[in-house]
Structure 1
Amino acid sequence: MSIINPALERPELIAYFLGANNYSWLHFRNGEKKLLSKPISYLEGRLPGFIRVHKTALINPDYVQSLHRPLRQKMAGKIQLQSGETFPVSRRRWNQVAQSLGEHLSPGNNEEPLQESVYLDDARPTSEQSNLGRSVASLFLVTSDEQNAFLARQVITKNWPDYRVETIPKSIHLPELLDDLAQSELPVLVFLDARSDTLERLQTLQRLKNDPRLCRVPVVLLALPTDKSVIEGYERQANSVITMKEGDMAFAQVIDRICQFWLKIAELPAHC
């Protein structure tokens, strides 16, 4: 308790907490972090003014920069901190979070809540215009390269119009995002670009494959062309590992070729 109590006595120094089973990471506003031997539910009880945006994140409302409403129904909004970090807002918690943050944000930053929804990309594929009103299968792409994300969205929208592509720059919250979806809304395929943020991507891969509900979603790992990267990917149960150099100009074409196999040749599991 020597770390926990002094920290909780100065909540103005705290940015947020991230839960990790029976432990929590405490992130200070100055960038430091500490591991606490308490679950996030305990911390939520000790800090009633903090806001639980999803089941693993507890945010200091005074550190929030902006709140962004969901882009679509059955997707989630996002919250941005003063540091520039972003967190998804669980669709089940959206209205409560928006209401709680109303008094902490300026009118220009606080957006009006919409229907329930998971923060993903900031671009809506044009193919969705013809898919409104019916369920659309989705593909998830995790990459920190905005240019690659844009090109991948373009090629998938053009060549695979029956699928919606969702892109996110970080994978750390991906298991929680997917866990918040109904079984029928789970993606048919996940791409994890592990050429950067490698450890984060591998840990996410392992969490997905250790989850009895999410483990059946096929995960393609994009890795650097080294034996170590390939071995680590398969050790964590990637469904396939594709090697590429960083800055590869053919990224979108590789994504398209992977889709050719997984969406046309392979038999994908039914989520219903």
Structure 2
Amino acid sequence: MGFIATYVVLLLLWEIWKCRCAKRFDSTYKSVGKITVDIRYAVSVAIQGVIFKHECSANSLAILRTFGFKPTVKLKVPKIVRWIPPKHGVCLNIDGACKGNPGPCGGGGCLRNPAGDVLLSFAFFYGHGDSLLAEVRALADGLRLAALHGFHITSVYSDSLILVQSFIHDKCPSWKCSWWWRLARSLLQQLHVCVAHSFREANRVADTLASYACDSQERSIYSLSTIPIICKGPVVLDKSGLPSVRLL
């Protein structure tokens, strides 16, 4: 209702100004009815390409329909999501965080077995950068750590859709992270695995580790017993299989 009301006022002022200029300089005249029709048409065209996320009240909707406006509203639908353990081998979840974008950034990740036990986790501070750079570097570091400690990775998850699609289309998303992106691609090809997308609610441990790296500004590797206290809650929740609700 607020969007359409504001748009109508702006169009009203614009149409009156055009009518005034046309009458003064071109000696042409537009009736009030024609101005009204033009405004209604402009609003109808504008709201056809807009999908609103919040539905207005029944009274406001009735007023809009009286003027011939039919806004499209797509309400968010709740979806139950949870971390899915690997069927075999080791699962790698990674995430990047940035305070400012660009700003201080860091990455985190964890390696877990089918039982949900954390075999190894890390929180690395990367200095100044953006969130995409942190995501790519976290992926490369997670894969290198897994190879260094002899873990066989069978699945990799990230909540960055841009990062996942970059490997699907085999196109580096940014020149700033090209070196680490090519390294990660090489390691993924050696392991014969792909990066799959995961919702943030199903990537809580890696997300917490990445935020911890930004706050601590350190580079640390953890086992289950030494993992930061702030990360133990998400580890327990994922291992227990408790779901989270996400609005789509």
Higher normalized contact order (CA 8 Å, seq sep 6+, divided by chain length): 2
* TM-score of the pair, normalised by structure 2: 0.22
More helix as a share of residues: 2
* TM-score of the pair, normalised by structure 1: 0.21
Larger radius of gyration: 2
